């Protein structure tokens, strides 16, 4: 069986021809034009899907369905791209399914990108066969997805797993959502960078300064890990702080859902195990209510392909 999965990002659209095992046969990528309208966006998704069939020499009639992973709020029941802070067009409630089907009459499924990553990892990645399975993506913010009972959980109005905005600190750091103390202000890649920059201001002799050539704007999520590897005390403090914040949200997820596995994705998750996953497991296991059943905490395995694979396989879980 063949599926098409499209991973929509703010800068690139990536479409892939995928089979039921999550194997990608081929991909096509198109940059997002700065002045792209919602209509042009819809038309581009159809064009890319047709192109995939040509390149893969697949009869379009053999495609089971098209799944679209979107960076924003999505209503799959109504077929709408509800809201998007990340695309050039600002229209609300773009009727994406209808737009696609006007050109190509085929089942179309829509999903939020973090949810698609969860579907991908559950179907073909590190969370295969685990239920419930939680996917946590550490990026600019923290995205999340939950597969429970073999189904993608979305909540009654599709905002069910905005885990980045669970509050872990009363009157804490101000968040982009308007709230204070949201988890993503402590556990995202952005938070890690800010913690590193703060610590660097306190400690001018930190190795982190050498790594970024004296320019604190060059600090990335990798910087504190690189410096900690060199034994830098300031970097170790940064990581200890960061891991504490990251672990609190995960402990909350475990206490509420008791997932079999939590998969971590995003750039930060590529850090070496002795600096990230191992200490994180210790903190989470120690902090959870049920100390007899340890949640598995693993690196997501599909990497950049999770979005395409998850979008393609949405049909099976929604
Ligand atoms: Zn928030």
Each residue of 231-266: pLDDT tens digit? 999 999 999 999 999 999 999 999 999 999 999 999
What domains are defined for the chain? Answer: 2-120+305-316 (3.30.420.40), 130-300 (3.30.420.40)
CA 175 – ligand 1 centroid, Å: 5
Mean pLDDT of 149-172: 94
Average pLDDT, the chain: 96
CA 184 – ligand 1 centroid, Å: 7
CA distances from 301 to 37, 54, 247, 289, 294 (A): 34, 29, 20, 28, 20
Q: What is the share, in percent, of the chain residues with pLDDT greater than 90?
A: 93
CA 207 – ligand 1 centroid, Å: 32
pTM attached to this predicted model: 0.93
Q: Is the pLDDT reported for residue 157 higher than 90? A: no
Q: Is the pLDDT reported for residue 159 higher than 90? A: no
Q: How many angstroms separate the CA atoms of 203 and 318, rounded?
A: 50
DSSP letters, 139-197, are SSSEEEEEEETTEE---TTS-TT-GGG-B-STT-SB-TTS-BSBTHHHHSHHHHHHHHH
What φ, ψ does residue 67 adopt, rounded to 5°?
A: -115, 135
Q: Please list all protein residues whose beta carbon sits less than 5 angstroms from ligand 1, which is an ion.
A: 165, 175, 177, 179, 182
Q: How many angstroms separate the CA atoms of 248 and 317, rounded?
A: 29
Q: What is the H or E stretch that residue 28 is in?
A: strand 24-31
Do you find a cis peptide bond into 42, omega within 30 degrees of 0?
no
CA 185 – ligand 1 centroid, Å: 8
Q: How many angstroms separate the CA atoms of 153 and 218, rounded?
A: 38
CA 242 – ligand 1 centroid, Å: 17
Mean pLDDT of 281-308: 96
Contact 273, 245 (CB under 8 A): no
Q: Which tens digit of pLDDT belongs to each residue from 54-100?
A: 999 999 999 999 999 999 899 999 999 998 888 999 899 999 999 99
């Amino acid at each position: 069986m063949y599926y098409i999965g499209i991973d929509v990002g703010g800068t690139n659209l990536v479409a892939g021809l995928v089979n039921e095992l999550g194997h990608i046969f081929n991909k096509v990528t198109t940059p997002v034009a700065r002045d792209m309208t919602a209509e042009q966006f819809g038309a581009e998704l159809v064009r890319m899907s047709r192109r995939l069939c040509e390149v893969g020499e697949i009869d379009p009639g053999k495609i089971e369905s098209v799944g679209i992973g979107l960076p924003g709020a999505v209503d799959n029941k109504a077929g709408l791209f509800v809201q998007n802070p990340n695309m050039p067009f600002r229209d609300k409630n773009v009727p994406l399914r209808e737009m696609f089907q006007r050109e190509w009459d085929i089942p179309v499924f829509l999903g939020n990108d973090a949810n698609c990553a969860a579907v991908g990892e559950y179907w073909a990645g590190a969370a295969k066969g685990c239920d419930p399975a939680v996917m946590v993506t550490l990026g600019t913010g923290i995205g999340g997805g939950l597969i429970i009972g073999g189904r993608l959980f979305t909540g009654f109005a599709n905002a069910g797993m905005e885990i980045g905005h669970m509050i872990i600190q009363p009157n804490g750091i101000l968040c982009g959502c308007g709230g204070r103390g949201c988890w993503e202000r402590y556990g995202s890649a952005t938070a890690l960078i800010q913690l590193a920059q703060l610590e660097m201001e306190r400690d001018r002799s930190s190795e982190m300064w050498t790594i970024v050539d004296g320019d604190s704007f060059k600090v990335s999520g990798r910087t504190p890990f690189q410096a900690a590897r060199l034994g830098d005390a300031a970097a170790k403090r940064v990581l200890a702080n960061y891991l504490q914040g990251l672990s609190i949200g995960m402990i909350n997820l475990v206490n509420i859902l008791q997932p079999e596995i939590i998969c971590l994705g995003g750039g930060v998750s590529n850090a070496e195990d002795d600096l990230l996953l191992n200490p994180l497991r210790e903190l989470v296991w120690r902090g959870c209510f049920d100390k007899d059943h340890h949640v598995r905490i693993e690196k997501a395995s599909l990497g950049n392909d999770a979005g395409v694979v998850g979008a393609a396989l949405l049909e099976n879980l929604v």
